[in-house]
């Protein structure tokens, strides 16, 4: 999941997650989303928020941390977790994912970009993405990737879902979205997944609660990324 995404309390969210990681490293694992990147931080307000609450040096430290976050994770070697979706080429292995160089900004295309930006589609094959980056992948692509890597399930985020989650591709792909009432306007539920020893997904849904009267993207200044 994006750890920060258009909200105006992203600093507090990411600091809480990092403090959890420092406090008990084996109890929380953070992966990188497409919004943990410099360009998205500039456009959607995280850069402005950090500079308003702290300064440019702290923002640069956040960028450094984001650059070293992993792009994917597995649970018990059977569940593949990434923010966006699957590779745009066949035959990609988990070892290929492990070998992605960390420590900077992801390129505009290639494996890292695919993992951050791609989306599932209901029909077979691959299609150009409506986002203009990444691509859309069908149930056959999911099945081939899972078989290639002896996995059972793909869990990803990247898209708001009205019920907080959506199961697709014959139960092989799950999208989970944890931000309820996205951008204070979508009216969607949020959700998270719990996996027990059986590795069967159990979903918890929840509604939005009131927050301080600060609008989403309060610190953004439009697509130009220029701050007033």
Catalytic one of 1, 35, 83, 158: 35
Distance CA 26, CA 164 (A): 26
Any idea which residue has 């130009």 for tokens? 224
Token pair in block for residue 217: 């993207």
194 is a catalytic site residue: no
Q: Which of 200, 120, 128 is nearest to 168 (CA)?
A: 120
Largest CA-CA distance found in the chain, in angstroms, rounded: 52
What is the H or E stretch that residue 146 is in?
Answer: helix 139-148
Among 65, 55, 76, 74, CA closest to 3: 65
Predicted local confidence at residue 223, as pLDDT? 45
pLDDT at position 226:
39
- What pLDDT does residue 161 have? 97
Predicted confidence at residue 66, as pLDDT, reads 97
- What confidence score (pLDDT) does residue 1 get? 61
Q: What is the pLDDT of residue 90?
A: 95
> What are the per-10-residue average pLDDT scores of the chain (228 residues)?
80 96 96 95 93 96 97 98 96 97 94 97 95 93 98 97 98 97 94 97 97 90 45
Confidence at residue 222, expressed as pLDDT on a 0 to 100 scale: 57
């Amino acid at each position: 999941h994006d750890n920060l995404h258009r909200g105006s309390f992203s600093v507090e969210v990411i600091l809480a997650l990092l403090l959890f990681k420092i406090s008990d490293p084996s109890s929380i694992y953070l992966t990188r989303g497409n919004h943990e990147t410099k360009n998205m931080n500039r456009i959607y307000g995280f850069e402005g928020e950090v500079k308003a609450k702290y300064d440019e040096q702290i923002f640069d430290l956040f960028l450094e941390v984001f650059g070293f976050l992993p792009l994917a994770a597995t649970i018990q070697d059977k569940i593949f977790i990434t923010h966006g979706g699957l590779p745009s080429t066949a035959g990609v292995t988990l070892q290929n994912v492990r070998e992605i160089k960390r420590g900077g900004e992801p390129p505009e295309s290639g494996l890292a970009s695919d993992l951050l930006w791609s989306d599932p589609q209901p029909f077979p094959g691959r299609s150009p993405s409506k986002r203009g980056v990444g691509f859309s992948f069908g149930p056959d692509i999911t099945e081939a990737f899972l078989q290639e890597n002896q996995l059972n399930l793909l869990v990803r985020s990247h898209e708001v879902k009205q019920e907080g989650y959506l199961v697709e591709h014959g139960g092989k792909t799950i999208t989970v979205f944890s931000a309820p009432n996205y951008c204070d306007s979508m009216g969607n539920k949020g959700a998270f997944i719990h996996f027990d020893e059986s590795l069967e997904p159990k979903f918890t849904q929840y509604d939005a609660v009131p927050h301080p009267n600060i609008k989403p993207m309060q610190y953004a200044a439009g697509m130009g990324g220029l701050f007033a």
